[in-house]
Amino acid sequence: MERRAVVVFIIALAACVLVAKPHVLSWNDRSRLATVESLADRGTFAIDGSPFAVGLGDEYRFRGRTYSDKSPLLALQGAAVATVLARAAHIAPTSARAIYAVVLGSVGVWFALGCTYAYAWQRRLGASRGFASLVAALSGVGTLSFSYATVLANHVPAGAAVLASLYHCARARERGLDALAGGAFAAAAFAFDAPAGLAVFGGIVLLRGAAPSRGAIAAAAFLPLVAAQLAFNHAVSGGFGPPAMDPASWADVRSAFHARAHQSLFFFDSAGAYARYAWYVLFGGKGLFAYTPMAALCVYGLARMWRRGGRERTVALAVAVIVLPYTMLVIGLTDDYAAGDFGERRFVDVTFALCVGLGPAIAAVRGATAILAARVAVGWSIATAALGSLAPFGGRPGEPGYAFGASEFVALSARAPLQAALDVAAVVVIVGLVLRAWSTSAAATRRAAAPGG
C-alpha cells in the first residue's frame, strides 16, 4: 500500500475523532447500542434489560426475548471495542466515553477505509497522488458519508465495503488474494445492509473474462459470511430475511413495523405517487442531489468513463449495476416522507462507489462557467455534510434536513458560540483548501498534457 494511502486513512479517522457522537440520537443508533451493551455485559444478542432498549421502536420479540431489528455485524464490531474498554479501562458500555469509542472504532474506521479506497481507486484510474488525495477528501467530507460517520449507523460501513469490494475485484485479474478480498468485502457489505449486497453484481462485471479460479475464490470468500448472516436471521426471527423486513418479526405489537405486517410490500398505489416519491428522494426534501449536489459531478464522470470505453467503461458499468438497482430499491420499497433523517441516509450505502466518477469529472470540466458551477456544487456539498454532522438523526416527522440542521446550528451557537464559530471557520478553510488543491491539480494536468510536458 502506498504511504499516501496510510496518510489518507489517518486524516480521515482524525476527522471522525472531531465529530463522533458520545450519545444516541435516535432509535436507529440506540437499537444497535442496545445490542452492543448486551453483548459486552451479558454475552447475548437479546436486548432485554439493556438501558438503551427503553422506549425503543426498532425492536421485536421472538420466542420470549427482545432483539434489535438491526443487522448484527456492526454491533459485533462495536461490542469488541466496548469489551476492550470495559476490561482494560473499566469503562462501562453505557458511558458517554464508551459510546464515543464504539462509534469511532467501528463506523469511524470504516469511514477512513472508504476514503482510503477512494484514493486507491483514483490512483488505479491514473490520477496523481495529489489529485487522488483531493478526490478521497471529497468522497468523505463532501458527502453524507461524513454526516453518518458520527453515529452508530450501518450505511457508512456498507458503503466503504462496497467500494473496497469493487477495488479488489478490479485487481483480481492480477492477484488471487484480491479475489478473496473482493468476495469478503462484498459479503461484509451484505451483512452490514442487505441491499448493499448488490456489490456482488459489480464484482461479477469486473471479474468477467478473468480466470474461472478467481471467481471461485471470490465466491468462497463471499458465501460463508452470507450463510452466517442468513442463519443468524433465522435463529432470531424464524425467517431468513433481515428482521427489519421480516413480517414474522412485525407480529410484536410493540414493533414500530407492526402496522405493516399485513399490508402490501409496496407503500404507494400508483405510478404517479412513485414518480413524486422518486423526485422527493432524488431532488426534493430528501434528495440525493439536493443534499450532495456533487453527486451530479459523479454521474457526469461515470458517463465520461463509459464513453471512453475499455477498462474505464467496465468500471463505470460495475458502479452502475450497483447504484441504479439500489436507487430503484430505495424508491420502490421505502416511504421516508415522515422520517427524521438528514437527507436520504440509505444512499450512503452507494455514495463511495458513486464517487469513483468524481475524479474523471473534475478532470474533464472545461470552461469558466462549468468550472464555477462544479466548484459551487463541491462547496455546497461540503457545507451540507458538515451541517448534517451536527445531528444526522432528528427533527420533527417529515421536517426537511436543512431545517432541523439549521436549528441544531442555532442551538449550538446559543450554548457554545466559540465552537459554532470554529465549525464555520473549519468549513471555510476546508472548502478553500479543496478549491486550491483543485486549481493546483488542474494546472499540473495541463502542464503534463502540454507538448514536452
Any alpha helices (H) in 20-154, and if so which ranges?
Answer: 27-42, 72-89, 96-103, 109-124, 129-141, 144-148
Helices 271-282/310-333 angle, 10° precision: 120
pLDDT band at 451 (very low <50, low <70, confident <90, very high): very low
**pLDDT at 152 exceeding the cut of 90:** yes
The grid coordinates listed for 56 are 425503543
Q: Which of 376, 400, 402 is nearest to 388 (CA)?
A: 402
Q: Measured at the alpha carbon of residue 108, what is the angle toward residues 103 and 113, in degrees to the nearest 5? A: 150
Confidence (pTM): 0.94
Residue-level pLDDT at 452: 43
**pLDDT at 446 exceeding the cut of 50:** no
The grid coordinates listed for 7 are 496518510
Q: Are 386 and 396 contacting, i.e. CB atoms less than 8 angstroms apart?
A: no
**pLDDT at 256 exceeding the cut of 80:** no
Q: What is the mean pLDDT of residues 282-293?
A: 96
pLDDT band at 62 (very low <50, low <70, confident <90, very high): confident
Q: What is the mean pLDDT of residues 366-387?
A: 94
Q: Are strands 65-68 and 59-62 parallel, antiparallel or unpaired?
A: antiparallel
Tens-digit pLDDT profile for residues 187-227:
999 999 999 999 999 999 999 988 999 999 999 999 999 99
pLDDT band at 450 (very low <50, low <70, confident <90, very high): very low
Return d(Cα 314, Cα 293) in angstroms, integer.
Answer: 25
What's the alpha-carbon Rg for the chain, to the nearest Å?
A: 22
Q: Are 363 and 445 contacting, i.e. CB atoms less than 8 angstroms apart?
A: yes
The region, left, alpha or beta by phi > 0 then psi within -120 to 50, assigned to residue 343 is left
Burial (CB < 10 A; 0-12, 13-18, 19+), residue 424, is middle
Task: Please tell me which residue, 114 or 65, carries the higher pLDDT value.
Answer: 114
Tell me the percentage of the chain whose pLDDT exceeds 70.
Answer: 92
Q: Are 431 and 386 contacting, i.e. CB atoms less than 8 angstroms apart?
A: no
